[in-house]
Amino acid sequence: MVQKKPQKTIRRPTYALESVDNALRLLQMLRDEGELRLTDAATALDIAPSTAHRLLAMLVYRGFAVHDERRRYHPGPALGAGPALRGWTRELGERCRPHMEALSALTGETVNLVIRVGTQARFLATAEGTNLLRVGDRQGQVLPAELTAGGRILLAELPRPLLEQLYLRPESDDTPDRRMDRAEFERFARELEAARAAGFAVNLEQTETDVAAFGAAIRNGRGQAIASISVAVPSTRYRRHLQGPLLARLHEATRGIGVDVAAIEL
């Protein structure tokens, strides 16, 4: 399939503004979790509740959040991306975290929790690797699902008619989602079939230069693929991991998570 030009690696600014970063992280949490308590916000950002309250108050003022009678915050009308519309994303993240941290410790690489929303892959959580040369935190990022390892393995689970609905749209369709022509779609569908048969998908510099990733699905008790775990690695280590123990450890982690999330359904 025709590949887009890889994006440059996004690095944290040298003189980062902590208050701005905290506000943006709150927006990401509202978008991906759909509901947020003040205490949860303060804990996630490691700031005082009073500081979290001031940040959330400004988001309410600017229309990026709304405050309900239970003192919970929700995405406001100005937050165009909207929530992931999955009420279990917080629970999913909490249950995945120990497995992600263990996998990261075993491999030294960065581990991400991914869900699919339409043609988007949303990175809900990250356990950053310990290697000196490593891929950074990707929590909160939204990328085209067809280009990411975690997104591709979830797309591989979809029936053919739904895939066609997502990617074979008429040229007059003005949605921002990726559209493929018939030939490109057929190549893409074959790649997804191969990924499903192998049990994992790969991303070799399709989203970022010098970054590769391996993705495997997380299944609930009914065998539904509800999310995925991806391991992001510098592309210089891609071949070594492809032939080494990383994939076995990735599958072991997703099986362990599957036990812990058996009751969660789509």
Regarding whether 142 and 39 lie in a shared domain, the answer is no
Sign, CA dihedral 175-78-112-212, equals: positive
Query: Which CATH number covers residue 22?
Result: 1.10.10.10
* Tally of domains within the chain: 2
Range of the domain at 181: 89-260
Tens digit of each residue's pLDDT, the chain (266 residues): 555 666 666 677 776 688 999 999 999 999 888 889 999 999 999 999 999 999 999 888 777 888 877 788 988 766 765 556 566 888 899 999 999 999 999 999 999 999 998 888 989 999 999 999 999 888 878 888 999 999 999 999 999 999 999 998 766 555 556 789 999 999 999 999 999 999 999 999 998 899 999 999 999 999 999 999 999 999 999 999 999 999 999 999 999 999 999 988 76
| Separation CA 204–CA 148 (nearest Å) | 9
The domain that holds 129 is classified in CATH as 3.30.450.40
Task: State whether 42 and 113 are in the same domain.
Answer: no
Q: For residues 227 and 189, state if they share a domain.
A: yes
Six-digit token pair at 197?
């048969």
- Is 63 in the same domain as 96? no
Residue 8 lies in a domain: no
29 in a domain, yes or no? yes
Residue at which a domain ends, from 52, 75, 98: 75
Judge if 95 and 71 occupy the same domain.
Answer: no
**Residue 11 maps to a domain:** no
Q: Are residues 129 and 103 in the same domain?
A: yes
28 and 132 in a common domain: no
CB atoms within 10 A of CB 131: 15
- How far apart CA 205 and CA 7 sit, in angstroms, is 9
Taking the C-alpha atoms of residue 23 and residue 226, their distance in angstroms, rounded to an integer, is 29
